[in-house]
Structures are given as structure tokens and as C-alpha cells.
Amino acid sequence: MPSRPVSDRWRIRPRTTVDLAAIDPGTKAGAPGDKLATKDASAVLRARLAELQARLYAEGSRSLLVVLQAMDAGGKDGTVRAVFEGVNPQGVRVASFKAPTAQELAHDFLWRIHAQAPGDGEIAVFNRSHYEDVLVVRVHGLVGEDVVRARFRRIRAFEELLVGEGTTVVKIMLHISPEEQRTRLQERVDDPAKRWKFNAADLAEREHWDAYQRAFEDAIAATTTRDAPWYVVPGDRNWYRNWAVLNILVDTLERLDPQYPPAPAGVEGTVVE
Amino acid sequence: MPSRPVSDRWRIRPRTTVDLAAIDPGTKAGAPGDKLATKDASAVLRARLAELQARLYAEGSRSLLVVLQAMDAGGKDGTVRAVFEGVNPQGVRVASFKAPTAQELAHDFLWRIHAQAPGDGEIAVFNRSHYEDVLVVRVHGLVGEDVVRARFRRIRAFEELLVGEGTTVVKIMLHISPEEQRTRLQERVDDPAKRWKFNAADLAEREHWDAYQRAFEDAIAATTTRDAPWYVVPGDRNWYRNWAVLNILVDTLERLDPQYPPAPAGVEGTVVE
């Protein structure tokens, strides 16, 4: 029997309730050592991820969708950079979903999402996603609870479609504490190189912290499935978060076990003149 | 007066004829030293590129389009990997243009290209491009010379549009020798990890080597402009090629000199509660 993958620690099993308050955002649990040792482990995982991505791309018949969600300043951008730098950018596409445009609003909430789904051989990383449509709109009361429940169903059906047609789906919530968010937002005020990311609206959103946490718990519980699981990754320490996300992606791709395709008939022994 | 940028060595000036046979694909001219020293120099350039990309992305008002063209096995994929690994994938998008689909063929040749143009703050890398429509179709006689001339005009007008609206355009031909192509195609036959890239059609294309070189010369001469210049980069040695392309991109972005935007009014001194 294969040993339990490292990433199982953060996986949310189907048919469980989610209690974010019970998950310490600052934990180092399971890390291979201190910050330095963990960064070394991450470098090894990053090389492994690059190799698995190269195989997935060469294989050209399956794909991977990575959904990243978090509170503001939760570390989505930093995770994308830390995890995917070093992976061939030609098979990785990052889609950032901002406030929807007029044209996007004129369609169902999954329309713009579907358009960004990964093609054969690709990895697509969603920085925010369709989950915004059961988080921010819910916290602000823009849709009723009946619509939220219906959207959970539609999300499950949409993700089942992707999975059934060859896309592996992993969804990751970067879980930070309100204190860590405060520190990071303050950095955006104080550091000229980070100030462009500061958005006064984030301060207003911060007031709704508890409502967001409840909305995350509901959304994760309603949509974590065997084939499209959610992972909740403690995110107060960047080095732990990066190591955890790398483990999730490497474990996922190792299960897929992509292969360089066999030579087409007649290629073997060809001499190029 | 500022010193001449390193990348000027490979730039094709407007209103010149292009003689590819006069450019040695195996040259090391201008390299900072041997292979090892040049790789060290490339590492420094790569860090500089990452910093410039971060600023371009933060600035969020201009963009960069990098067009890569080459003969088959000319090193486009390897260049993308070597040059852009280490750059934040969230601001870099690679678009690979393959044989057009039925829907794409039902539109003008720039339709699918325009759709992939970089947005504000983005770098888009085109692995093949609209130039295929004045190269492969010309070599195979699928369009007449009058259409080719008209397309040169339309390409110039299209690129002028992009440049005028805020996109910096650089076009790079990776220039290899027929002997190097032979070696690389043979590797694709012999190496199981490369065999998926082998395409028997490449052997047939190889027969048209000289016609392709002439088509490249014409296309480059007709479309290299002050604001959307072509560069011809000697490509037989990967380490020289990577160093050259890094220089081109760093020089280009340094001229742009993107800046972290100033703090919006009222942000300075904000205390996050």
C-alpha cells in the first residue's frame, strides 16, 4: 500500500464540515525542518514539478487546473511566483480574475471561467476564480442564499465536466490570520515597491473578515469532492505555504504520472539527411 | 551620449537588405567570455529581466510583445524556457501559433494574432506568429507574391497600431545552420524524451531550406522598423543565443524604464487597523 502523500495533511475530505478557526495559519506542522531546510526541500520539489510539467506538456492529452483563493493579501501572487518560477512558461498560463467586465456580467458566472480552462498538456493557474461568485457577492448580500446554493451545484457540475473530460482540478485556499493581513496591508502602504497593490477597498473588506471566513467554509465544504478537492494551506509563513503548495502539485501530478508519448510508427531508426 | 546597447549587434536596421548567409549561426562574437562566463552573465541578465518585468506589471500601463520565429528545431521552445524561467509567470503569457483552425482560417490572418496581444503590464511571447503567413504559405506557393507584398504592408500597419497604443514590439529570428538543424532533428529521433517533438513533415520542410531563408530575408527587410525592429540572433550555440535574447529584452525594457506607480492620494501614512 502506498504511503499517505504529504499533501493529504491539507486536503479537505468530502462530506466534512470546515472549521477554519481550528486550522492555525502560522503552523509549521509537517515541515521538513526550519525555514532554511524547508526552502531546500522546496527547491527539490520545484525541480520535480518542472519535470512533471514537461512530461504533461509532451504527453499532450491531459491538463491541470489549479484554483487559488485567499483573503486580500493572502499570498496568491506570491505563491504563483514562488511555485511556478522555474517551470517552463510555455505550458503554464495564469488567469487572474478581477471584477467582471460588462460583457462578462452579461453572461452566466462560469462563462469567463470556462474560456480560461487549460487545454491538453497545459497547466492553468486561476488567481481568484468562479469562487468569488459565492464569496464576495455573498458577503455583500448581492445574491440570495438560494442562488448561492444553486451556484454550489453548478460549480460541482462544471468541475465534474472538466474532470471527466481530462482536466485534473485542485483548489487551494491560502489561509492567513487577520493579524498577518494587517501586517501585509500596512507593508503595501509603507513600501513604495508594494504600494501599487494597495487598494483602499481592501480596508473596507477587512471589516467583513468573519463573514468571509464563514463563506469560505461553506463554499469549501459544498464543493470539495474526491476528484476536485480543496486544500486549506496555512499561509502566514510564506516558506511553509510555498512548500505545502509545491507538495500538493507534485503529489497531484505524480498520481497522474504523465509520460513522454511513444514514437510514432516508423520514426525509430530514421536518419535525418 | 549613452553607449550603444549590446543588443544593437543583432538589430536589423530599417531600409537595409538582409543577407542571412553573411551571419554566422555559430558565432560567439561579443560574448562576455566562454560558455561558463556567458552563462553567468545570463544569470545576471535574467535577474534584471525579472525586476524589469515586475515594474512593468506594477506600472500597468504599457506592454511588451516578443515575436519568436525560426526554422524548425531553431530553438524557439528552448529560448522561451531559458529566458523566461525565473520571471513571474503571472505577467508573462506564451502564445504558440500552430496550423490555423477552421475558425481561424475563416478570418483574416491577423485575427487570431490580435486576440493574443498583451494587455497593460503584460509580456506576451509569440512562439511563431503572423509571420508564418508570409513564410510557410509563400514557400509552398499557397499565396501569390502580390498577397505577400500586401501582407507585409498589413503587418507594418498592425504593428504600428500596437506600438502606437502602448505595446513595445520586438521580433527575433533565431538563426541556425542546416547542419545544426540536422543534428537537432536527429536528436528528436534518437532521444525518447525529445521524440514527441519529432514531426516527419519537418524532414520535407527541410528540403525547402533555401526558399525559407529567402522568405525570412524578405519578411525581415520589409517589416523591420524603428519601433518594431527585427533582431537576427545566431542560434547554433544555445548559451550564446540565450544570452543574446536576454540582452535584447533587457535593453528594450530598460529603454521603456517602467516605474512603480506613485501612491494614490491619501494612501501615505494610512494605518491599517
**B270, A189: Cβ pair inside 8 Å?**
yes
CA distance B41 to B176: 22
Asked if pLDDT for residue A2 goes beyond 70, the answer is: no
For residue B3, the model assigns a pLDDT of 78
- Minimum CA–CA partner of A182 in chain B: B272
Instruction: Report the pLDDT averaged over residues A20-34.
Output: 97
What digits encode the pLDDT tens for the residues B237-271?
A: 999 999 999 999 999 999 999 999 988 788 888 89
Asked if pLDDT for residue B42 goes beyond 70, the answer is: yes
**Any B CB within 8 A of A27 CB:** no
C-alpha torsion B34→B35→B40→B42, nearest 10: 110
What digits encode the pLDDT tens for the residues B122-171?
A: 999 999 999 999 999 999 999 999 999 999 999 999 999 999 999 999 99
Q: Provide, as residue numbers in chain B, all residues whose Cβ is less than 8 Å from the Cβ of A196.
A: 58-60, 260-261
Q: How many domains does chain A have?
A: 1
For residue A19, the model assigns a pLDDT of 97
Asked if pLDDT for residue A135 goes beyond 90, the answer is: yes
For residue B61, the model assigns a pLDDT of 95
**Any B CB within 8 A of A268 CB:** yes
**A80, B94: Cβ pair inside 8 Å?**
no
* Percent of chain B predicted with pLDDT > 90: 91
Of B88, B182, B261, the CB nearest to A81: B88
**B85, A87: Cβ pair inside 8 Å?**
yes
Q: Are A129 and A69 in contact (CB under 8 A)?
A: yes
**B263, A195: Cβ pair inside 8 Å?**
yes
What digits encode the pLDDT tens for the residues B163-213?
A: 999 999 999 999 999 999 999 999 999 998 899 999 889 999 999 999 999
**Any B CB within 8 A of A14 CB:** no
Q: Within a domain: residue B129?
A: yes
**B90, A94: Cβ pair inside 8 Å?**
yes
What digits encode the pLDDT tens for the residues A193-246?
A: 899 999 889 999 999 999 999 999 999 999 999 999 999 999 999 999 999 999
C-alpha cell at B25: 549561426
Asked if pLDDT for residue B8 goes beyond 80, the answer is: yes
CA distance A42 to A84: 12
- Minimum CA–CA partner of A203 in chain B: B272
**A189, B85: Cβ pair inside 8 Å?**
no
Instruction: Report the pLDDT averaged over residues B108-112.
Output: 95
Q: Are A42 and A260 in contact (CB under 8 A)?
A: no
Distance of alpha carbon A181 from the chain centroid: 19
Q: Are B170 and A257 in contact (CB under 8 A)?
A: no
Of A58, A197, A267, the CB nearest to B189: A267
**B261, A195: Cβ pair inside 8 Å?**
yes
Q: Are B240 and B234 in contact (CB under 8 A)?
A: yes
SS3 annotation, chain B: CCCCCHHHHHEECCCCCCCHHHCCCCCCCCCCCCHHHHHHHHHHHHHHHHHHHHHHHHHCCCEEEEEEEECCCCCHHHHHHHHHCCCCCCCEEEEECCCCCHHHHCCCCCHHHHCCCCCCCCEEEEECCHHHHHCHHHHCCCCCHHHHHHHHHHHHHHHHHHHHCCEEEEEEEEECCHHHHHHHHHHHHHCCCCHHHCCHHHHHHHCCHHHHHHHHHHHHHHHCCCCCCEEEEECCCHHHHHHHHHHHHHHHHHHHCCCCCCCCCCCCCCCCC
Q: Provide, as residue numbers in chain B, all residues whose Cβ is less than 8 Å from the Cβ of A264.
A: 198, 200
Shortest distance, CA B72 to any CA of chain A (angstroms): 13
- Minimum CA–CA partner of B185 in chain A: A272
Whole-number Cα distances in Å, A49 to A45, A61, A76, A252? 6, 18, 18, 10
Of B84, B260, B261, the CB nearest to A89: B84
Q: Within a domain: residue B273?
A: no
* Percent of chain B predicted with pLDDT > 70: 99
Phi, psi at B233, each rounded to 5°: -110, 120
Q: Within a domain: residue B267?
A: no
Q: Provide, as residue numbers in chain B, all residues whose Cβ is less than 8 Å from the Cβ of A209.
A: none
C-alpha torsion B244→B246→B252→B257, nearest 10: -150
Listed in sequence order, the residues at least 6 apart from B221 whose beta carbon sits closer than 8 Å to its beta carbon are B12, B16, B17, B18
Cα angle B94-B100-B103, degrees, rounded to a multiple of 5: 110
Shortest distance, CA B181 to any CA of chain A (angstroms): 9
Asked if pLDDT for residue B2 goes beyond 70, the answer is: no
Residue A272, helix vs strand vs coil: coil
Q: Within a domain: residue B106?
A: yes
Which residues in chain B (197-216) have CB-CB distances under 8 A to chain A? 197-198, 200, 203, 206
**B92, A89: Cβ pair inside 8 Å?**
yes
What digits encode the pLDDT tens for the residues A244-265?
A: 999 999 999 999 999 999 887 7
CA distance B249 to B48: 10
What digits encode the pLDDT tens for the residues B209-234?
A: 999 999 999 999 999 999 999 999 99
For residue B211, the model assigns a pLDDT of 97
**B196, A94: Cβ pair inside 8 Å?**
no
**Any A CB within 8 A of B139 CB:** no
Shortest distance, CA B54 to any CA of chain A (angstroms): 9
**Any A CB within 8 A of B61 CB:** no
Phi, psi at B261, each rounded to 5°: -70, 155
SS3 annotation, A167-211: EEEEEEEEECCHHHHHHHHHHHHHCCCCHHHCCHHHHHHHCCHHH
Neighbours of A44 (CB within 10 A): 12
Q: Output the domain CATH number for residue B183.
A: 3.40.50.300
Sole residue written with cell 535574447: B245
Q: Provide, as residue numbers in chain B, all residues whose Cβ is less than 8 Å from the Cβ of A59.
A: 196
CA distance B230 to B249: 12
C-alpha torsion B141→B143→B145→B148, nearest 10: -120
Q: Within a domain: residue B189?
A: yes
What digits encode the pLDDT tens for the residues A178-202?
A: 999 999 999 999 998 899 999 889 9
Task: Work out whether strand A230-234 and strand A11-12 pair parallel, antiparallel, or are unpaired.
Answer: antiparallel
Q: Within a domain: residue B262?
A: no
**Per-residue confidence at A86, pLDDT binned at 50, 70, 90?**
confident
Q: Provide, as residue numbers in chain A, all residues whose Cβ is less than 8 Å from the Cβ of B269.
A: 189
**Any A CB within 8 A of B179 CB:** no
**Any A CB within 8 A of B140 CB:** no
**A263, B195: Cβ pair inside 8 Å?**
yes
Q: Within a domain: residue A270?
A: no
For residue B265, the model assigns a pLDDT of 80
Helix boundaries (H) for chain A? 35-59, 76-84, 102-105, 111-114, 136-139, 145-164, 178-190, 200-206, 209-223, 238-256
**B80, A58: Cβ pair inside 8 Å?**
no
Of A196, A260, A271, the CB nearest to B260: A196
| Owning domain of residue B194 | 6-254
Of A189, A271, A273, the CB nearest to B267: A189
Q: Within a domain: residue B139?
A: yes
Say what the pTM is.
0.89
Contacts across the A-B interface (CB distance below 8 Å): 122
CA distance B197 to B5: 36
Shortest distance, CA B192 to any CA of chain A (angstroms): 7
Of B88, B198, B272, the CB nearest to A85: B88
For residue B249, the model assigns a pLDDT of 98
**B80, A87: Cβ pair inside 8 Å?**
no
Nearest to B67, CA basis, from B155, B146, B8:
B155
